[in-house]
Each structure stands twice: as structure tokens, then as C-alpha cells.
Structure 1
Amino acid sequence: MPARRFIWRIAAALALNFCASWALAQTSETERLYKEGVDARLHDRFDEARSKLEEAARLAPANADVLVQLGFTFLALGDIGGAETAFKRTLEISPAYVDAKFGLAQIAFRRGDLPGAKMFVDQVLTERPDDADAKALQVNIAKAEAEKARPRAAAQKSDKLVRGAAPVPRPDPVVQLADEARKRRMEGRFGEAEVLYNKALTHDPRNVDLLVALGMVQGYQQKFEDARLSFEKALAIAPNSLDAKIGLVRLSIWTGGTEAAAAQLQSLSSTSPDNREILGLRARVLLLEGHAAEAEAAFAALVAADGNDVDAVLGLGDARRAQGREKAALQAYQAALVLDPDSVDVQQRLDAPAPKFWRLDIDGNYSTLTGSQPDWSEGSIALSRAFGPDTTLTARFFAATRFDHSDQQAELGIAHKFSDLFSGYAFASVTPDADFLPQYAIGGGGALLVTKGADRFGPLSATLDLKYERYSDGDVETVSPGLQQSLWSDKLVLTAKWINVFDQQQHHAGGYLVRADWSVVDRLRLFAGYSDALEPSDGIMIPTQSIFGGLSFDLNEQVTLRTNFAHEERENAYNRDVYGVGMTWRF
């Protein structure tokens, strides 16, 4: 009894810990894909640049950098309408994008709308007080206001300041270095861009735009701590810099900190409640966290405010698909296709196979026993339904024949992921007229992330499994705390459990299980393990040593085949060899 109380105290402590709530950067492939268009623009091949960048915009309609480059290309070609559309679309996606505001200032100045030009250039200089181009345009606006009799000459003069035109020599080293860094960034040469941004900062260490740009290229290289330092330096200089704050949000998402990103976005929303970029990021983070219904509501609000926002419509479809509402998701994707018929993102979603929310598992085991004991046979069939990415409900039927007796068992279980850090499960089963299986059983458990780890040593989780079984001659309770370590990006997973059994006579027996799961290739997985613990046989707990192993192979995304083998040695009883096969069908 003292040992039993001790074990249950440990279990209770672990269960309380389970209730606590504690958990790529992906290099912008888009920027590399559009390298040719940017290179053409930088070398004054504007027709080629327009063709490349228009194609890029079709591939990534929500990429603000692409749209800005396209806008300046249109300006160089004299297509004011095209430039205006590109810059306005950029600001819909990223309301704080300073270059887009400068482009609109150029357009307003060309059209003779001096108040409009002044408004935009003032906004640029508020964010970039040392922007040489904006200062030059400000001077020209002042001259134009004083020389209203010669608007054409002033407009012609302003053409020299268009950022898509031939480079104008600038004596300011900060401007030169920043321009070169921007070119490297657009070409995907992030290491070189980082060096240039750092050089520019030696001349102007308090330039917030340079610090934010530096943080972005560091993030693209997965230099997350360096990126964080850059964004934080920018905020130390300009505490209200929205670009720097959004940079920290993106950093949280890159590093898998969706909960931190959600908290940051909540803070930003309190000061900028109508900012569509923030609202869109909040909806996307909700979806990443598995809150598909809330994400749907957020995307729906964005669509209601602006039905032409393709990204919001796509997000709405993604949230519906995550909930298993495929028909509603397709309706959203079709609406997005009407808005942007050439979008590859939309077409990919329409072409993607529907997610599989149902799963059927069929397994069978055949056992041979030593001596003159008759063979055993077992079979099970389980049907599971996923309700979103976090919750799965399973119904299972199990039938077994042992020593010429047969039992049939029905089981219902549920598994739920509460957060990135904690997941749990529970089940209950019943066996009518039980001969050797428990009359009924209940159980549950979960896993708590202890540390996220890194590439080689991945996540470490603490696990706990609890089970209560009622037999005709008494109760059996099992408490099994454990640890699970992932290695090499989940290629190898090691599991250890301390198995504690309290039998019908209230005797305690300890045991253990160790297991290794190895993903040989994407479609082939192997496992092997050893256990030494009590096993039930006709309601009697017998010390049993078992060595086991098996493999599973994915024929395709829908069907998995598996096989397993185990050899059991029972103390003062028969030995048992188990041969098993099974399959999974997802639909």
C-alpha cells in the first residue's frame, strides 16, 4: 500500500504538470524566383522587368516586395495607372510599406497633385527622416508650389527622381550601401545584403529602416537571435515602429512560437485595430495554432470589409478546409479564382486532394504457444474521425480467442491536442460476458513537451498513461510515466516507460518498456523494443519479458500496410510468439 500511494502521488504530480500551459524561417523562395525580373530592372531592361515581375505577381499576388518593384518598373515605362495600382495594392497588404508611399508621392507629383504628393512624402520622411530621395522630392514639391506657372517643367525634372529610372549618383554612403543591400536582398544574396546593411549602419546607427531590413535578411538566413537583436534595436530607437514590431511577429512564427506571435499581434491590434496586415497575420496564426473556426471568423471579417482581398478569401478557404468543410472551402477558392484567374496559389488549392478526415484500421494477430497449449487469435477494427487538426474520436471493436474461449470488446476513445505543448487522450471499453478480458476499463494520459530541442536532439516529452481494469475477481490499476526523445528531425524516436501494476490482491509490481521508432525513408518505418512487466492472462498477472518489432509501409497517401512480431516469455508458464498484420485506410 505505501508503494501504491507513492506511485499515485507521482502520477498526480505529473498530471498536475500536464495541466500547465508552456511548445522556418523559410528563406523567401519568392524573392529568388523573381531575381531575373529585378536584375532586368536594375539594368534598365524595363520591358523584360515588367514581363518577369508581372509573372511573379501572378505567382505571389500578396508579395509586397514584388508589387513595389513592379510599381517602380511601371513608373520607368511611363505607365502611371499600372504603377498606381501596384502601389495601392502593396499598401492594402502592408499599410506601413514606405516605398509604396514614396511611389504614390511620385505619381501625385507627376499629375500635379501637389497636396497629395506632399502628404505622401511627409509620411515617408516621418518613417525615414534621412531618405535622400524623399528629401529631394520634398524640395521639388516646394519649388513646384512656388512655380505653378511651370508645372510641366517641374514634373519633367521630377522624372529624374523616379526610383525605377537610371541610377543617379548619390554622395551619401548610407543611401548607396542601402541600395546595394536592397539589390542583394532581392537577388536572394542575403549574406551579402547583411554585410552591406551593417556597413550602412556604421554611418547611421540609428536608422530604423536599416535595422529592420537587417533583421529581415538575418531572419531569412535563420540567424534568429541576430534578427531579434536588430528588431529590438530598431524599437529602442523608434518604439512605435510598426515594421519592427511586425518583424518580431514574423520572427516568432519563423521559430515556431505561434503562441508568442498571437500575444504580439494582440498587443499590436490594441494600437492599430484596423490594420489589415495585422488582422491577416492574426487570422493566419490562429489557423497555425489549430483554431480553425476562429481563423475562419477572422478571415470572413476581412473578406466582408474588402471582398477583393484575394489573400483573405484564400485564408477563408484554408480555415474551412482545416475543419473538414471541403465544399465550403472550394466555394472560397472559386471566389478567389474569379478575383485572380492567373493565381497559381488559388489553382494549387483547387487541384489539391481533399484532406482525409476518416481513418479505418484493421489488425489481426495469430499466436503460437509452447507445450500443448492451443493457438490464440485476435482481430480488431477501428474507425476514427478527425474534427479539425486537434481532435480525433475513435470507435474500436476487438475480438480474441484464447484457450477455446472468446471475448468481444467495444471501446470508445478521444484524443485532443490542447496546445503545442500538451496533448491528451481518454478511453473506455466494455466486454460483455468476459472470460479473460476485463469486464470494463477506463484510462487516459497525455504528453507534455519538456524542451523543443534542436536539429540533432529534437523535442523531449514527458508522458503519462493511466488505466483501470475491472476483472471478475478484482481490480487492476496501471500507472506508467515515461519519456520520449526525438532525434534528427523525428527520424529516430526513443521511448522509455516505467510500468507500475497493482493487481487484484493490491500487490505492486514494477516493470519497464523501451522502444525505438526509426523512419528509414519517408514511406518506411521500423520499430523495435523490449519490455519486462506484468501481463494479464485469464485475469492473472504474470511476469512477462517481451521482445517485439515491426514495420509499416505507406503504399500511398491513403493506404498503409504493417506487420509485427513479438516473442514473450512468461515466468513459470508458456511462452508465446505473436505474428501480426494490419492496414490503415484514410478517406
Structure 2
Amino acid sequence: MQSELAATPAGTCCQSKVSVPVARWLLIVLACLGSASLQAQDYDQLIQQAVTQRNAGELEAAEQTLRVAYPIPPDKTEVATLLAMVIAFQARYSEALDLLEEALAQNPEDTGLRLARARVRAFQGLFAEGAEQTAEVLQQHPDNIEALNLAGRIALYQQRPGQAVTYFERAGMLDDNDLESWIGLYDARAAQGQDELARQALAAAAQLAPDHVDVRLRVERTLSPPGPVNELIVGFDNSRFRDVALSHWRDQFIEYRRQRSLNSTYYLRAENNRRFDNRDTVFEAGWLGNQQGALPWQLSAAISGDSEFSARYRLRGAVSVRLNEGNDYVGPTLLTPSLQVADYRTGTVSRLGVDLEHYVAGTALWLTPGLGLVRDEDSDTSVSWMLGLNWQLSGRFRVGASIADGAETENRITTDTRSRNAYVLWQATPGVALRFNAGRYDRRNSYSRENYGLSVSYRY
């Protein structure tokens, strides 16, 4: 036994007792480092894959990739920003905002998160709130390119392309290779009707990233919007009469809309209306064109095979022009002249209208006053007027009210009518919206009618 110990190198027994746990710890540390390195590598690859998918317009695929990447980093700033925007592009705004608020709680001063929140607010139609949040970032970081581009995009939403050009040009001066500023400059110039300057901006964007979805679709002149492009609307409108023994009205309709591009929307509508103990079926088709251009226009045509009380046919055309872009004190104003001709069994009724949309600066309010010149079935001419107020209370709720006075045609008879209407619009889910409306119509020397209606729209 002693010889065996003597033959053993000094310290070997002690060394073996220490080396085993040390080796285990070294293996654990190396395994952890390797795992962390592998996770970091996987995360970077996932982020790059998601960005590529997003830029190609594959939003659902990008979302799935980002959800795989989301649990990996302890700091969620980058992945939360990307994931929230991909979700918002699919019109799931509340979900996107919840994700951003959670990330902001971890990193409240992060500029990217703050701008992403402002962008989602703008997507919701809360332009004043989005502009205010973007302005706060620009005040702290006046040369932030992302903030400049977002300010320009919101200005476009607010019908202020001249101001949008200023923001996009400032962003382009800071980085001549910034794709978003070139795309924004194209959109702003197109909205101003400056086609040649718009083409130059799009050519610069195409040179930078010809395969990017925003570039490709603009080059193809489709300008396809993100998110759902189909909409189905169903609804009813019932009326009852005061102080007169007339049967109630019961109107139902179904409408399909297809947003073919940011520039064009088509719709088909069918109505089944029961009034005065008669029933009429009306079919209507319409086309909204050049919606992102300097002169958006609308065309519609309707026919009725029964025409007991409806027009045998009705044609309408309208075009909008921007009167002013406004500023921080005076909002933008749009003018929309329109012409409508409706042929009834009793004669033809034509209406020339001039309507305004004025957006109150710094608020979520807009006014819709209008004047009309009506020539009735007896060739008598009269003037009508209307004043409406709309308020986007939040991303989910919008309310409005209007009052009008002028000639209205009901049951093939045109009579001076005073009307008051109100509505509430609730965005119940990203794809489902409900609209409730109520009103009263007082026809001079005739009857008073009260109505209420409900419609449900589904975007997919």
C-alpha cells in the first residue's frame, strides 16, 4: 500500500478530487455560452427573415417569425417594435398598442417605440394625437429621420401634402439613401398633382430597393394597401310617422366594397325598401378613383326595376379639390362639387351640390357644411343647405351630427324638408364595425318622420 502511494505522483489524489467538479462547471459555462451564442445567432437570423418577409408584403409570415423571436432577448424593444407594426399593418391596432405599451414600460424613452405608437395612432385615424407624439420626438431629436418621415406621412393623412414634402425632403437631406423619404416624397408630390416630380422620387426609390413592396406596388401603379381590402356591409333603416296614419318604412341593404388599391375602391349595393305599402328594389354601383391624388373623384349609378317610389335611375358624379393645407392654427379644407340626376315617374330631379370638409387644426374634429341647388320634377328651383360635425373620440369610437334644410324627394314628390341626424360608429374589433344612426325629417305641409338604423361592416 505504501509502495503504491509512493509510486503515485505527489498531489494526484487531491488533483483528481478538484478537477472533476471544475471540469463540470467549465462544461456548463461553455454550454451556456454556446447556447447564448446560438440564441443570439438565431435571433438575428429571425429578425432579418421577418424584415425580408415584411418588405415583400408577407405580413402573416413576418408576424409568425417575429413571434418565434420574441421570447429570446431580455430587452424587447426591437422585436416589439417590429411585431407591433406588422400587427398594425393588419389593422389590429389595439393589439399593437398593447405590445408597444408593454415594451415602453421596460424602456419608456426609446424613440423607436414612441414613434411606433404614434404611427399606430395615425393608422387609427387619430391624426392629431399621432402628430403630437411625433412632434415631441422631433423636439428632442430634430434630425431623427424616422420621426421626420412619420410627420410627413401624418401630414399626408391630414390632407397637407405641401407640409409633407417639407418633412420628407428634410429626411432625404440627412440621408439620401433613405427609402421611406423617397416613397413619401412620391406620395406627397402625386397628391399635389406634380406628376413629373413624383416620377423622379419613385425612380430614386426604385433604384434603392426595386423589390420592396412599397416600391414595387407603386411602380405597378396598384398602390395596394396593407391589411384587409374587402368589406361587406349589411344594415337596416326603419321609420315611423308622427300625427299621420302611414305604415312604417322598412329598408334593408347589403353592400360589397373592394379596395383595389389606395387609389381605387369599387362597390356594389342592393336595397330592398318597403314604403307606403309598396316595395322597391334598387341596385347601385360606384367607383372611387384617384383617392391619393390631387383630384379624387366618385361616380355612381343606380337603377330600380319597380320604381314605385324610388328613382328609375340615378346618376351621380363628384370631384374633390384641396382649397388649403392649413397650418398649426387653421386646418385643411377640401371642396367637393357634385352633380346628381334622378329620374322618377313624375319627372326628373337634379341637384348641384357644393360641399366642404374642414379639419380643425390640433383636434380630431372636422366640419362638413354644404350648399345645394335643386331643380324638382315641376322644374322649380330651390336652395338647400347642410352643416355636419364629426368627432373621432378614440381609435374605436366616432360620433357625428348634422342638420339640413332644403328640397328632398320622397314618394316621387319633392318638398322642403328640415332634417336632423346623428350617428355613432364603434370599431368593435379590427375587422368589425357597427354604426347606429337616428334622425328626424319634417316635411313642410306634409308629415314628420323619425328613423333609426343599424349597420354592421366586416373587413377581410
| TMscore range, shorter length | 0.5 to 0.7
Deviation at 1:244, TM superposition (A): 7.3
- How is 1:121-200 mapped onto 2 (pairs within 5 angstroms)? none
> 2:81 maps to what in 1?
none
Return the letter of the residue paired with 2:347. Answer: G
Structure ranking higher in helix proportion: 1
Deviation at 1:575, TM superposition (A): 0.5
> 1:494 maps to what in 2?
367
> 2:251 maps to what in 1?
378
- How is 1:74-473 mapped onto 2 (pairs within 5 angstroms)? 250=181, 253=184, 257-259=188-190, 263=196, 279-280=207-208, 287=215, 291=218, 293-294=220-221, 322=224, 355-370=227-242, 371-454=244-327, 457-473=330-346
CA 1:456–1:292 in structure 2 vs 1: closer, same or farther (change >3 Å)? farther
Q: Is the 8 A contact 1:252 1:258 kept in 2?
A: no
1:511 corresponds, among 376, 380, 384, to 384
- Determine the C-alpha separation between the residues in 1 that align with 2:183 and 2:301: 39
Deviation at 1:453, TM superposition (A): 2.5
- Determine the C-alpha separation between the residues in 1 that align with 2:383 and 2:229: 39
Q: Is the 8 A contact 2:177 2:208 kept in 1?
A: no
Provide the TM-score with structure 2 as the length reference: 0.59
- Determine the C-alpha separation between the residues in 1 that align with 2:440 and 2:207: 57
Cα deviations by residue, 1:107-155 (Å, 9 ceiling, x for unpaired): xxxxxxxxxxxxxxxxxxxxxxxxxxxxxxxxxxxxxxxxxxxxxxxxx
Provide the TM-score with structure 1 as the length reference: 0.47
- Determine the C-alpha separation between the residues in 1 that align with 2:339 and 2:278: 28
Deviation at 1:482, TM superposition (A): 1.4
CA 1:251–1:509 in structure 2 vs 1: closer, same or farther (change >3 Å)? same
CA 1:359–1:292 in structure 2 vs 1: closer, same or farther (change >3 Å)? farther
Q: Secondary structure at the match of 2:296?
A: strand
- Determine the C-alpha separation between the residues in 1 that align with 2:441 and 2:147: 55
Return the letter of the residue paired with 1:369. Answer: F
CA 1:357–1:250 in structure 2 vs 1: closer, same or farther (change >3 Å)? closer
Deviation at 1:434, TM superposition (A): 1.2
Deviation at 1:499, TM superposition (A): 1.4
- Determine the C-alpha separation between the residues in 2 that align with 1:381 and 1:292: 35
The count of residues paired between Structure 1 and Structure 2 equals: 323
Identity %: 17
Deviation at 1:579, TM superposition (A): 1.1
| Mapped pair 1:548 → 2:393 | no
Q: Is the 8 A contact 1:468 1:477 kept in 2?
A: yes
Cα deviations by residue, 1:566-587 (Å, 9 ceiling, x for unpaired): 0111100110100111111112
- Determine the C-alpha separation between the residues in 2 that align with 1:265 and 1:514: 36
Deviation at 1:470, TM superposition (A): 0.6
Deviation at 1:537, TM superposition (A): 2.0
Q: Secondary structure at the match of 1:442?
A: strand
Cα deviations by residue, 1:347-390 (Å, 9 ceiling, x for unpaired): xxxxxxx8322211112111111222221111111112221222
Q: Is the 8 A contact 1:382 1:396 kept in 2?
A: yes
Deviation at 1:192, TM superposition (A): 8.8
- Determine the C-alpha separation between the residues in 2 that align with 1:507 and 1:558: 46
Deviation at 1:392, TM superposition (A): 1.6
Q: Secondary structure at the match of 1:479?
A: strand
Q: Secondary structure at the match of 1:517?
A: strand
Q: Is the 8 A contact 2:186 2:197 kept in 1?
A: no
| Mapped pair 1:578 → 2:451 | yes
Q: RMSD of the alignment, in Å?
A: 4.3
Deviation at 1:559, TM superposition (A): 0.9
CA 1:567–1:489 in structure 2 vs 1: closer, same or farther (change >3 Å)? same
Deviation at 1:465, TM superposition (A): 2.1
CA 1:60–1:572 in structure 2 vs 1: closer, same or farther (change >3 Å)? same
**Long gaps (5+) in structure 1:** 1-50, 64-188, 195-213, 233-240, 296-318, 324-353
- Determine the C-alpha separation between the residues in 1 that align with 2:325 and 2:453: 35
